[in-house]
Amino acid sequence: MMPRSVVYRAVMHQTLGKTLATHRLRKDMSQEDVARAIGVPQIAYGRWERDAAVPRDADRIHQLIEVLGLPSDLFDQPDRSKVPSPPPPWAAAQHAAVMARLERIEALLLNTDLASTRKSRR
């Protein structure tokens, strides 16, 4: 078994939800088991694991620490659920396509402006 400090260092690079899921699975518990143990609906606990919400109640946080064996300073750190994820692989191609469209629109507008300026000079 790995020393706790090594496990926690690895966990510190995860979101809060991933950390909860990792510790829950190590304890061989279901989301429903954890939710029941800390007195919250399974839906609420599931949202925590998906990083859709974070536990706010101090009693629930202490119960999570106890039930899952989390490091006690886990909730003292910045909210890791809001760490931006990397852009999806298709984002660069989509950005390039949008920029190409904008350039075509700009060229059309410039040509229209030039054509209307030439007509008004005559």
Are residues 94 and 65 located together in one domain of the fold? no
What mean pLDDT value characterizes the chain?
78
Regarding whether 70 and 11 lie in a shared domain, the answer is yes
Asked if 40 and 98 sit in the same domain, the reply is: no
Query: In this structure, are 13 and 71 located in the same domain?
Result: yes
Q: Which pLDDT does position 115 carry in this prediction?
A: 56
Query: Does residue 93 share a domain with residue 59?
Result: no
Residues 27 and 71 in one domain: yes
Same domain assignment for residues 65 and 116: no
**Helices 31-38/42-49 angle, 10° precision:** 120
75 and 18 inside one domain? yes
Q: What is the CATH number of the domain that holds 49?
A: 1.10.260.40
Please give the structure tokens belonging to residue 115: 């054509």
Quick one: 66 and 33 in the same domain? yes
- The pLDDT score that the predictor gives to residue 32 is 96
Our count of domains for the chain comes to: 2
Cα(73)–Cα(65) distance, integer angstroms: 9
Alpha-carbon separation of residue 12 from 25, 34, 80, 84, 94 (angstroms): 17, 21, 9, 15, 33
Residues 38 and 90 grouped into a single domain: no
Query: Same structural domain for residues 49 and 30?
Result: yes
pLDDT per residue as tens digits for the range 34-52: 999 999 999 999 999 998 9
Range of the domain at 20: 4-82
Q: What is the pTM of this model?
A: 0.52
pLDDT tens-digit series, residues 5-27:
434 444 456 788 898 999 999 99
Q: CA-based angle 68:51:38, to the nearest 5? A: 35
